[in-house]
Structure 1
Amino acid sequence: MWQRGAVTATAPLDVDLALLGGGGAASLVLAALDRHGVRDLRIAVVDPVRRRGQDRTWAFWGHPGSDLDPLLSASWQRVEVATPARRRVLDLTPLRYAMLRSGPVYDRAAEAERRLGAVRIAAPAEMVTDDGTRVVVRTGGGPTVRAGWVLDSRPRPPARPGRTTWLQHFRGWWLESDRPAFDPARAVLMDFRTPQPPRGVSFGYVLPVSDRYALVEYTEFSPGLLTDAGYDEALAGYRDLLGLDPAGLRVREVENGVIPMTDAPFPARPTPRVVRLGTAGGATRPSTGFTFSAMYRQADQVARAIAAGRPPVPAAAYPRRHRWMDAVALRALDRGGVGGPEFFDRLFDRNPAERVLRFLDGTTSPAEEVAVMNSTRLLPMIAATVGDAAQRVRDRLRPTRPVPAIPPAVLGSAGTAPDAAALPD
């Protein structure tokens, strides 16, 4: 019989499940375990920080009526996609676009943690050893944890370098206006009227909570980061492009983030009893940076498996064919074969919005994917496909290259993105 109580740094702690990291991915797992009625499971959460409040924002699409509905800050049935040539308003039915701030997610996870009787260890996990039957987690200043399974959502570099590596990096201002300035019935999903970088893609977007309060954000897909002044200049330019009067605006909060966009592999199961979740487990879509929906699916699959007495191993975040398509798309964008605004404009122009969004989420059928691929310019994508295949052959013939260092901002920043916080953990 396992009894909760004080845990000392010298007494080992035996549990059935250990969560390494206590951010978005772990919070969703705790909530899912509680939702699916899992009880009598010995759980430890190993994280040096207890997450509270609004440190990031997720925006995602899905069907109304999920368990997340009570936590949402806002949702929209209609969204706008804009290019220099035109602005179109899309009806997402039967889906909707929704915004979720981190505070309610952390609060729900804290309540689930209490109901599950989990033990929280406020220390970093420094060494993880898996012998195939148990996993030993040595912590910095806390007790050693012996677990049947470990779910690890801490940021991790890829197993090897990618053939293409970009970053999605962004800054957002929560703006409060003295007078009505936003349309609360419609979000701006992607606005490509922003100045485009020499190598990469940029866009702005607007997530209104009311007619006087909204998140306005500038995002780039590119190989490198901007300076603080660069992000502020880009945001000010986008604010002016929207026709917002700075004299009547106040910046209430600032959110920043960096997300990897790479075809490099992130092994979801590095050892027999260690499972990685979030970006570390492949939940980030390489070609777009979208993460939240896959992270939510992972949490739900883990909880369902445990409730049914199965190992807590979720399915792959995205089908293999999607990872291949992402690699080709990244290569085409990186080599200049296609332009970002043109690429996304053609997708939304030649497909129902609902199909495009499900494709970006990795939930379309092969037949739908053929229709989406036919929306792109054929010759540049063929060239990117051939180049990707040739690079794969070269990678097999030459020794493994060292994984390049990932900027510290990518490994630790938080923020908001069209479907993701920076490296959810």
Structure 2
Amino acid sequence: MAPEWDFIIVGGGASGLSLAYTLSISELAFNRVLIFEPETKIENDRTFSYWTTDQHEDPWDSILFKTWNACTFKPHQKSRFDISPFVYKTLRAADFYKFVKTQLQQDTRFVILQQAVSNIETHQEYGLVYSNGTPYKAQWVFNSAYRHQTIISSKPHLWQHFKGWSIKSTEPVFKLQNAPIFMDFTVDQKNDCRFMYVLPYSNHSALIEYTGFSAHTWDDAEYEDAIKAYISTLQISNYTIFEHESGKIPMSANAFKNPYGARVIPIGTAGGCTKMSSGYTFAFILKHSHQICNALLKGTTPKPINANGVMNGMIKHC
């Protein structure tokens, strides 16, 4: 007989841990939650940034790294914009992982297994997750892994892909009062859509990230050469790299299909949490986590954040 759980969460990244944290502080009555995550998830492998309003109560405020009230775009000449009443918030993945895991370690209902999942099945009244040859049974399975072919079954489709360096320079070239540079399009486009993203941490440090929208990702050298060239335009002669991050996000308007069935609920990018025009995901992950908890409290079926089947196609949510 498969071990029984109330909920199983596949993936201990942003969406999985956000859901786990939201469950842990909710009024929902449950006994056991199992989280599968093969990686340790303690390093700062991501930078989570999102928009909110000044009045919005945010449980993540205690671990925020930086906030800004303005942003900069650079199609040709630099343009600075006041974004009030919105605030642009950034938190480090390492702080997020630590914060949530500390909460879960104090809640005996949660178990994290550092194992990979080999298969997921849905049945009429439960879902099954297989790991290391063992089946695990739950009323609901929340799955953050997506099958790429279920998203790119039709056109259009692109990847947003990026590589970033967090650098520390001897020169105070980054001013904290300066706004983040969201998109600097002055870099060579090379028949794609390419830009630099600069997030100032202090007068001497910042995240500098090279981002592209294209059908395919590039070799590491292409990202790194572009970042080096951009750093030189900032007149930085001496710097050290203290963190790296990279990733890719599917940018698609295609119909999203759940390949597993009714008892397996996709979350994260798989659950429609990625804004198809920009790639922003974290705020939608937080929203989806609350929607899932509310559905469970009401005794209704949790759904992807866009139940109409289009991957974040409802732009009015943005």
Q: TM-score, normalised by structure 2?
A: 0.90
Provide the rounded CA distance (Å) in 2 between the counterparts of 1:61 and 1:227: 31
Q: CA deviation at 1:137?
A: 1.7
Letter in 2 for 1:117: R
Which residue among 164, 173, 181 is the counterpart of 1:172? Answer: 164
Q: Choose between structure 1 and 2: higher strand proportion.
A: 2
Quick check: 1:157–1:266 contact (8 Å CA) kept in 2? no
Q: Which of 50, 57, 60 is the aligned partner of 2:40?
A: 50
**CA distance, structure 2, for counterparts of residue 318 and residue 75 of structure 1:** 34
How many correspondences in the alignment? 313
Is 1:156 matched up with 2:147?
A: yes
Q: Supply the AA of the counterpart residue of 1:201.
A: C
The two structures have a TM-score, normalised by structure 1, of 0.68
Question: Quick check: 1:254 aligned with 2:244?
Answer: yes
* Offset of residue 203 of structure 1: 0.8
2:221 equivalent among 205, 210, 229: 229
How far is 1:169 from its partner? 1.3
Structure 2 residue matching 1:246: 3-state secondary structure: coil
How far apart are 1:317 and its partner, in Å?
7.5
CA drift of 1:214 comes to 0.8
Identity rate, percent:
27
1:305: Cα distance to partner?
A: 2.6
Q: Give the match's secondary structure for 1:145.
A: strand
Aligned match of 2:112: 120
Change (3 A) 1:116 1:78: farther
Within 5 Å, give how 1:6-405 maps onto structure 2. 12-64=2-54, 65-84=57-76, 86-114=77-105, 115=107, 117-141=109-133, 143-159=134-150, 161-185=153-177, 186-198=179-191, 200-241=192-233, 243-247=234-238, 249-268=239-258, 270-316=260-306, 323=313, 362-363=316-317
Shift >4 Å, 4+ stretches: 317-322
Q: Secondary structure at the match of 2:180?
A: strand
Q: Distance in 1 between matches of 2:22 and 2:9?
A: 13
Letter in 2 for 1:189: F
For 1:102 and 1:318, locate their aligned partners in 2 and report how far apart those are by CA, in whole Å.
31
For residues 213-266 of structure 1, the C-alpha deviation after alignment (integer angstroms, 9 at most, x for no partner) is 11011111112222222111111222223x23232x111112111112223333
Q: Which runs of 5+ in 1 are unaligned?
A: 1-10, 325-358, 365-425
Distance of aligned partners of 1:212 and 1:303 in 2 relative to their CA distance in 1, 3 Å threshold: same
Which has the larger Rg?
A: 1
With over 3 angstroms needed to count, the CA separation of the structure-2 counterparts of 1:293 and 1:116, relative to structure 1, is farther
> RMSD over aligned Cα, in angstroms?
2.3
- TM-superposed deviation, 1:197: 1.8
Contact 2:144 2:266 in 1 (8 A): yes
In the TM superposition, what whole-angstrom CA distance separates every residue of 1:30-54 from its partner, at most 9, and x where no partner exists? 1111232444332111222232221
- 1:317/1:101 Cα in 2 relative to 1: closer, same or farther (>3 Å)? farther
Shift of 1:70: 1.2
Please identify which structure carries the higher helix content: 1
Query: Which amino acid in 2 is paired with 1:183?
Result: K
SS of equivalent residue, structure 1 residue 238: helix
For residues 321 and 165 of structure 1, what CA distance do their matches in structure 2 show?
12
Deviations 1:154-195 (A, max 9, x none): 242142523122111111111112232112122111111111
State the secondary structure of the residue aligned to 1:254: strand
Separation in structure 1 between the aligned mates of residue 142 and residue 186 of structure 2, nearest angstrom: 41
Change in Cα spacing, 1:206 to 1:124, as seen in structure 2 (3 Å) is same
